[in-house]
Amino acid sequence: MKFKMTYKITGKEKFFTDTGAPAWLTGEDAVEGSTMDDGWFWNDIVLSLNVGCKAETDFHIIDRIE
């Protein structure tokens, strides 16, 4: 899986795969169950995206491109 993440404020893009996603998105550095744990969003939303679909956060648009 490949993704493109666009920062809504600046338009800056970052590309990553399902094995190289940012730690804040996967929740790997968060305390499980804390309000800063985005692992649920990664596992339940982002990883379930079909190619060409997107998910949005307050600051990012995440598109699955492959």
Mean pLDDT of 33-43: 77
Say what the pTM is.
Answer: 0.86
Query: Two tokens at 5?
Result: 């993440």
Q: Are 5 and 60 in contact (CB under 8 A)?
A: yes
- What percent of the chain has pLDDT above 70? 95
Q: In what order do the strands lie in the sheet with 54-56?
A: 13-17, 2-7, 60-64, 54-56
The whole-number average pLDDT for the span 6-26 is 94
Q: Residue range 54-59: average pLDDT?
A: 94
Q: Are 42 and 55 in contact (CB under 8 A)?
A: no
* pLDDT greater than 70 at residue 3: yes
Residue 52, SS3?
Answer: coil
